[in-house]
């Protein structure tokens, strides 16, 4: 059992319907505090339970367990249901299906309500902190992107100087920006900045290692496209391992500051390695190692800019499938400011991204703590000191 941080509560719906539509389709919402989960197919095997925070309508591929609140605390029911493997319980092999009777017959130890609430509170507090860290990281990421866009895409400080407005930055930082724009192959750019191909900022690009990832902790971590294209940070705890020789490990070992870009499957997505890991990278990724440390943070956020994605999409114009290679990516033009500004940008982003990494690592520790406590608490093997309710 391993609950990820995003498997705790349903906070946002992707689709909304009004009461008239709900009545027309004869949909009956399940109440707040219900536990919802897939009941058919591969999604069922993943055992992803959610607890609703508002009345919710689920489709017929899902099932909802509505707690009898005079008997069971919703939070306790949520955590208690994680002791079951729905993939093993379900009927059928080709397309497993969980029935109401199979669900109803699952045995669960139900302690007194005060103890249930205490258990739900302890585990919920850990999950709340994990969720808070996730939201903080999203905010920190938005701040970093906003700085990059303002300075290196919209040229806000330069335009402010041109128009005689306050730059809105400390004087020493404002002095790093020029006060005029000049023409270039990319259009108007700040004076003194240069347009260079990405390849001039990096060592010779390198394709990754061909191997299959394994869940067993044998060998180094094996970073794949699916590990970098979902969030703005790498969730190393979910990255698989791989077997590799010592010589191959030395060749493909990842180092802090390495930039990786997907060439196939989900081309264009990239990341920067922000902490030392015992890890290598897969063959659908290309490594671009910046020649100087000052380029790393700049390239990291250039990869998240609209300008970069226009280049990626342009590569796929007139084709049914975009694919990239090291030569194509190396030729992508990138607008490079002066070294002093690059250093300053890196320093500011380092502060934000250090917090992102620290928050994620803390969440991993909290997840491990929660996962270790959960089985004993819900089974009754671990007892909590609980005051009696009058």
Q: What's the pLDDT score for residue 4?
A: 47
What are the backbone dihedrals phi and psi of residue 106, each rounded to the nearest 5 degrees, phi first?
A: -70, 130
Q: What's the pLDDT score for residue 294?
A: 95
3-state secondary structure of 297: helix
Q: Could you say which residues of the chain have pLDDT below 50?
A: 1-2, 4-8, 318
Q: What's the pLDDT score for residue 255?
A: 97
3-state secondary structure of 295: helix
Q: What's the pLDDT score for residue 329?
A: 95
Q: What does the pLDDT look like over 321-357, one tens digit per residue?
A: 677 899 999 999 999 999 999 999 999 999 999 999 9
Q: What's the pLDDT score for residue 18?
A: 65
To 10 degrees, what angle do helices 294-302 and 113-152 make? 100
Q: What does the pLDDT look like over 101-151, one tens digit per residue?
A: 888 888 888 999 999 999 999 999 999 999 999 999 999 999 999 999 999
Q: What's the pLDDT score for residue 84?
A: 84
Please enumerate in sequence order all residues whose Cβ is within 8 A of that of 350, keeping only pairs 6 or more positions apart, or say none: 297
Q: What's the pLDDT score for residue 16?
A: 62
Task: Give the residue from 290, 264, 292 showing the smallest Cα distance to 208.
Answer: 264
Q: What's the pLDDT score for residue 363?
A: 96
Alpha-carbon 263 to chain mean position: 20
Q: Is 382 exposed, middle or buried (0-12, 13-18, 19+ CB in 10 A)?
A: middle
Instruction: Give me 283's structure tokens.
Output: 């063959």
Q: What's the pLDDT score for residue 233?
A: 94
Q: From the CA atom positions of the chain, what is the Rg in Å? A: 26
pTM of the model: 0.85
Instruction: Give me 216's structure tokens.
Output: 């067993």
To 10 degrees, what angle do helices 113-152 and 339-379 make? 170
The Cα angle at residue 284 between residues 279 and 331, in degrees rounded to 5: 110
CA distance 236 to 278: 10
CA distance 347 to 64: 48
């Amino acid at each position: 059992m391993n609950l990820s941080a995003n498997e705790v509560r349903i906070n946002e719906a992707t689709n909304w319907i009004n009461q008239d539509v709900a009545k027309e389709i004869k949909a009956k919402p399940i109440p707040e505090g219900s536990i919802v989960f897939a009941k058919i197919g591969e999604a069922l095997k993943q055992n992803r339970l959610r607890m609703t925070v508002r009345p919710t309508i689920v489709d017929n591929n899902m099932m909802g367990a509505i707690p009898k609140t005079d008997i069971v605390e919703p939070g306790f029911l949520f955590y208690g249901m994680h002791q079951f493997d729905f993939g093993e319980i379900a009927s059928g092999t080709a397309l497993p299906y969980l029935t109401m009777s199979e669900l109803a017959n699952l045995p669960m130890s139900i302690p007194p309500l005060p103890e249930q609430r205490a258990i739900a509170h302890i585990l919920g507090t850990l999950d709340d902190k994990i969720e808070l860290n996730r939201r903080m990281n999203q905010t920190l990421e938005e701040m970093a992107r906003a700085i990059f866009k303002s300075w290196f895409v919209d040229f806000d400080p330069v335009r402010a100087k041109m128009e005689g407005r306050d730059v809105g930055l400390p004087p020493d930082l404002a002095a790093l920006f020029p006060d005029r724009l000049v023409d270039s192959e990319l259009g108007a750019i700040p004076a003194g900045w240069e347009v260079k191909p990405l390849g001039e900022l990096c060592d010779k690009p390198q394709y990754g290692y061909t191997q299959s990832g394994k869940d067993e902790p044998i060998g180094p971590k094996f970073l794949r496209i699916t590990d970098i294209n979902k969030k703005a940070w790498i969730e190393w705890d979910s990255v698989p391992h791989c077997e590799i020789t010592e010589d191959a490990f030395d060749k493909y070992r990842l180092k802090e500051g390495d930039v990786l870009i997907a060439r196939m499957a989900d081309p264009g997505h990239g990341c920067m390695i922000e902490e030392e890991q015992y890890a290598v990278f897969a063959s659908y990724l290309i490594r671009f190692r910046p020649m100087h440390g000052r380029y790393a943070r700049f390239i990291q956020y250039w990869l998240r800019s609209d300008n970069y994605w226009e280049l990626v999409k342009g590569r796929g114009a007139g084709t049914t499938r975009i694919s990239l290679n090291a030569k194509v990516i190396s030729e992508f033009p990138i607008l490079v400011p002066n070294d002093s500004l690059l250093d300053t940008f890196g320093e500011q982003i380092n502060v934000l991204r250090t917090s992102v990494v620290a928050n994620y690592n803390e969440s991993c520790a909290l997840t491990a703590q929660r996962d270790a406590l959960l089985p004993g608490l819900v089974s009754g093997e671990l007892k909590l000191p609980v005051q009696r309710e009058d």
